[in-house]
Structure 1
Amino acid sequence: MHTDKPDFNEYAVIDLGSNSFHMIIAKKIDNSLQIIYKNKQQVQLASGLDKYYHLSQESIQRAINSLALFAERLKDFPISHVKVVGTFTLRVAKNRLEFLKAASLVFPFPIEIVSGQEEARLIYLGAINSESVKQSDVKFIIDVGGGSTEIAIGKDQIPAFVESRPMGCVTYAKRFFPNQVITKQYFERAKLAAEQQVEKFTQSVKSKNITIAFGSSGTIKSIYKILLDLGVTDGIITLKRLEDLVSYVLEFKCFDDIDFPSLSNDRKLIFVSGLAIFYGVFSAFGLQELHYTHSALREGVLYEITGHKSTQDICEKTVGFLIKHYNIDKLHAGKTVDIVKWLFSQWKMSANIIIDEKLESLLYWSAWLHEIGLSINFSNIHKHSAYILKNCNMPGFNEEQQFLLSTLVGYHRKGFKVENIPNFSLFEQKQVLVLLQILRLAVLINNQRSATLNEKVFKLRVLDDNIFHVELYIENDFAKTNGLILLDLEQEQIYWQENKHWQLDIRIK
C-alpha cells in the first residue's frame, strides 16, 4: 500500500456483502472506466450471525482469509484509490470491532460500514449510470442481498426515495427453510414476511409513477438467467414469468434438487429464499416489468471515487438539506463555523500532528449542525441533536462518519467524561478529542449569538508536550466588555479539569 502515486490510474472497490465479498478493479482512461479485474469470494458472512447478532469465529476467519487474498492484489495501490464498504451483516454484528481489528492485521485499507440508506443510494448511482435511461424516467432500483434488500427511486443522480429492509437471501434461507426443504407453505411464509417488511411504504412507492425498473444482485441475476434457460429471449422479468418460475421451483423438494443449467451449487443454497423476497416485493409494489442490471453498489462507489461525482458534493448537499429541513439558524451556525475554522487554523500552527482533510470537514459540518435538535427543545439540545444525527438519513456519509458527527454534537456542551466517548475504527481517538475541544470552544465563544463577533480576538496555542493542553488568548479590550463569555470559559475550564490530561488556560493580553 502506498499513500500517494500521482500517475496511478487504477481504482479498486470491495463490497463486503452478507453473502459474497466482491472486488473490482478499473482503469481510468481519459474520462472513462475500463474494468480490468474481478474477484468474488463466497463468504456467507450472514450465516455466521447467531440470535444475539454475534459473528461466529468461523465466519470471521472466512472473511479474513478473503481479505488477505484481496490484499495481495492491492499491494501497490495508493490508499486513496481503494474503497471498501461493509453492508448489512457488519452493520448489525455486535462484535464487528473484533472483525475490524482482525482484518487490519492482514488488510491495510480502511473498511467503511455504510448505512442501509447509503447503500441504497450507491446501488442506485451504479445502476442508473450504467444503463441507457432517459433523464425524465422515474427509475426504480432493487437489490436483494444476503442480509438486506435495498430500494431506491428517483430521476436524478440523487434518489428521491431510499429504503433498506432487513431481509436477505442468506438470512431468509436460515429463517424460513429449515434443513433446506422446499414447501409451498415455507415459500408463502417467506414471501408474506417480505411483503410485511415493505407494507409501510408500499403506497408511497406506487405513487411515484415508476417508468422503468431495474434489479441487481445475485438473486435477480439468477432469476434473469433462469428465464433465459426457459426460453425467454428478452430477459425481462414480468409478474407472469415470475409466477411461472415460482411454480417450477416449488416442484423441487429441497435446495439441492433445483436443476437449472445456469444455477450454481452455491446459489442453490440461497436462491429460493431470494426468489421469495423478490416475488413478494414485486407483487406488493405492483411492478409490471423489471430489467436486470449488472451494476450496483460496487459500480456506484467506483463512480464516486473516480471523480465523476464527489462524495464531498453529496455530503454538502445533505448538510444543506438538513439545515433547511430543521430550520437551523444559518447566520448563527455560519458564524460558529467561522470560529471553528479560525481556532483550527491556530491549532494546526502549534500542534505537531496532522489531521486528515476528511476529518476536518466533519468538524465543520458538526458546527453547521450542532443546533439541529433546537426544534425539539433547547434543554438538552446536545442530546436531541445527537439523536437526530445518529438516526436520520445522511447520503454521502458512511455509518462511522455519521456516528462521529453525532458524537461531536452530543458532547459539545456541559460536563462530560472522556472515557464515555466511543472509539472509532476509521479515526484516531486523539484526533476526535481534538475536534471536540475546538467545537466546544467555538460554540461557547458564539454563545451570545452576536453577528459582529470578531473571532480574531482569540488566539489558540497547543503546548508541545500535551495536545490536550490548550492556551486561549483573548484581547484585553474584548475581555473588558464580554464578561459573560469569560464566565462561560471559566466553567469550561472546570469541565476540562474533570478529564485526565485536559487543561484549558485563559490568558488576557
Structure 2
Amino acid sequence: MRVAVIDLGTNTFHLLISETAGNELKILYKTNVPVKLGEGRINDNIIIPAAFERGINCLKDFSQTITKYKADKVRATATSAVRSAENGNDFVHAVKEQAGITIETISGDEEAALIYEGVKLSGAITDLSLIMDIGGGSVEFILCDAEKLIWKKSYNIGAARLMQQFFKSDPISDEDKNAILFHVQNQLTDLFEICEKYQPKVLIGSAGAFETFTELISRKNNLKTDINSIKTFEFNFDDYIEIAGKLLNSTHRERSEMPGIIPLRVDMIVIAALITNYVMGRAKINRLTLSTYDLKMGVLASLI
C-alpha cells in the first residue's frame, strides 16, 4: 500500500510518500517547500494573498506528484496558521477546488498527539522526556516515557508569531529578548508546574530547528551527520550551549552565511534557541536529543 502524507505547517509544507509491505516501511519520496503561509500577518489571524497563492500552487504540485506515485491513501493536515486564520476555511476550500486535496485542520491537542506518535517511532524516547516541537505558529510540548504519553499541550508561541511581534533588532537586543521571554513565561506556567511534578530528564527536539542545531554542531565538530538518513542525534550539552550563544549574538547576515542554516530559518533559529534555552533552564534539563521524526511520521503511523 502506498500512502501520501501532507503536513501544512506555518512555514513549510511537507510531502511524504511511502510504501508499506507487512511491517516494512519504505520512503519513496520526500520534499518540503518554504511556503511561509504565516508571513506578514499571522498575529492578525490572516493568510495574506501572496501566501495564500503560494500555498495553492505548492499543493497543486504535490497533487501531481501524488498522482504520479499512485498513492492509495492521502492525508493532509493543517496546523496553527490555517486553524487560527479567519480565512483558513477559504484556503481549505480553494485547495479542494484547485488541487483536489482534502485538508483536515487539526487542533493543537491532536497535533501534539501525532508528534508524540512520530517521535516514538524514531526510538528517541528512552527515559522520562519532554518533547518540544517548535513550529511557526505554535509550539507543542509532550511529557512522556517510552510506554505512554503523560501530558500534552499546544501553545500559540510559534517562531513566526514571536518574530513578527517582538524581533525588531539586529543582532537581537536584550530588550527584544526580554520581551519574548516575558511573553513565553506568561504562556508556559502550567508546563513548568507539570515539569516540577514529573522532572523529565531529557528534552527531545522534534525536527525543524533542532535539525539546524544538529547541522551546525556536526559541521563544527567535523561529523558526517546526514540529517536525511538519521532518526535521532544526541547533543553534547556544551556544544549546544555554544552554538545557541553564537546564534543569539550574531547578525542576520552572519547567520545567513553559516553553512547548515536554510534561508527560511536564518531569523527563526534565534527565537528557537532563545525558547529552548529558557525551557531547559526552567525545567532543569541538561540532556538534549533530536528526533528527525515528527508530525509527518505520526500521521503516517495513523494511516498504516
TM-score, with structure 2 as normaliser: 0.88
User: Structure 1 residues 236 and 155, CA, compared in 2 at 3 Å: closer, same or farther?
Assistant: closer
1:82 to 74, 88, 102: 74
Residue 232 (structure 1) shift:
8.4
Aligned equivalents of 1:56, 1:132: Cα separation in 2? 37
User: Structure 1 residues 232 and 182, CA, compared in 2 at 3 Å: closer, same or farther?
Assistant: farther
Q: Deviations over 1:231-289 (max 9, x none)?
A: 2869644664444333322432x323214221122321321122222222222222121
1:55 counterpart letter in structure 2: I
Contact 2:130 2:143 in 1 (8 A): yes
Aligned equivalents of 2:18, 2:265: Cα separation in 1? 26
After TM superposition, the structure 1 = structure 2 runs for residues 107-506 of structure 1, keeping only pairs within 5 Å, are 107-131=99-123, 133-134=125-126, 137-155=127-145, 158-178=148-168, 181-231=171-221, 236-237=234-235, 240-252=238-250, 254-258=251-255, 259-306=257-304
1:281 counterpart letter in structure 2: V
1:283 counterpart letter in structure 2: G
Aligned to 2:48: 56
User: Structure 1 residues 230 and 188, CA, compared in 2 at 3 Å: closer, same or farther?
Assistant: farther
Contact 2:201 2:287 in 1 (8 A): no
Alignment length (residue pairs): 295
1:251 counterpart letter in structure 2: N
Residue 79 (structure 1) shift:
7.8
Residue 51 (structure 1) shift:
4.6
Q: Deviations over 1:21-60 (max 9, x none)?
A: 0011111122121111111110111114355312111111
Aligned equivalents of 2:301, 2:93: Cα separation in 1? 28
Aligned to 1:67: 59
1:160 counterpart letter in structure 2: I
The residue matched to 2:293 in structure 1 has which SS?
A: coil
The residue matched to 1:99 in structure 2 has which SS?
A: helix
User: Structure 1 residues 224 and 195, CA, compared in 2 at 3 Å: closer, same or farther?
Assistant: farther
Residue 195 (structure 1) shift:
2.9
Residue 90 (structure 1) shift:
0.9
Please, which runs of 5 or more residues in structure 2 have no aligned partner?
226-232
After TM superposition, the structure 1 = structure 2 runs for residues 5-84 of structure 1, keeping only pairs within 5 Å, are 9-49=1-41, 51-75=43-67, 81-84=73-76
Residue 147 (structure 1) shift:
0.9
Aligned equivalents of 1:204, 1:56: Cα separation in 2? 37
Aligned equivalents of 2:213, 2:109: Cα separation in 1? 25
Please, which runs of 5 or more residues in structure 1 have no aligned partner?
1-8, 307-509
Residue 203 (structure 1) shift:
2.2
Aligned equivalents of 2:132, 2:156: Cα separation in 1? 14
Contact 1:87 1:114 in 2 (8 A): yes
The residue matched to 2:76 in structure 1 has which SS?
A: strand
Aligned equivalents of 1:53, 1:223: Cα separation in 2? 30
Contact 2:124 2:291 in 1 (8 A): no
User: Structure 1 residues 60 and 10, CA, compared in 2 at 3 Å: closer, same or farther?
Assistant: same
The residue matched to 1:45 in structure 2 has which SS?
A: coil
Contact 1:169 1:277 in 2 (8 A): no
Contact 1:255 1:272 in 2 (8 A): no
Aligned equivalents of 1:161, 1:78: Cα separation in 2? 38
1:245 counterpart letter in structure 2: I
Structure 1 vs Structure 2 CA RMSD: 2.4
- Which structure's residues are more often strand, by fraction? 2
Instruction: Name which one, 1 or 2, has greater alpha-carbon Rg.
Output: 1
User: Structure 1 residues 190 and 227, CA, compared in 2 at 3 Å: closer, same or farther?
Assistant: farther
Residue 94 (structure 1) shift:
0.9
Aligned equivalents of 2:52, 2:243: Cα separation in 1? 35
Residue 64 (structure 1) shift:
0.4
Aligned equivalents of 2:207, 2:186: Cα separation in 1? 21
Contact 2:4 2:74 in 1 (8 A): yes
User: Structure 1 residues 48 and 111, CA, compared in 2 at 3 Å: closer, same or farther?
Assistant: farther
User: Structure 1 residues 229 and 202, CA, compared in 2 at 3 Å: closer, same or farther?
Assistant: same
The residue matched to 2:149 in structure 1 has which SS?
A: coil
2:214 counterpart letter in structure 1: Y
Q: Considering Cα pairs closer than 8 Å and 6+ residues apart, tell me whether 1 or 2 has the greater RCO.
A: 2
Aligned to 1:91: 83
1:255 counterpart letter in structure 2: H
Aligned equivalents of 1:291, 1:163: Cα separation in 2? 20
Contact 1:140 1:153 in 2 (8 A): yes
Q: Deviations over 1:80-99 (max 9, x none)?
A: 61110000111100111211
Aligned equivalents of 2:265, 2:254: Cα separation in 1? 12
Aligned to 2:230: none
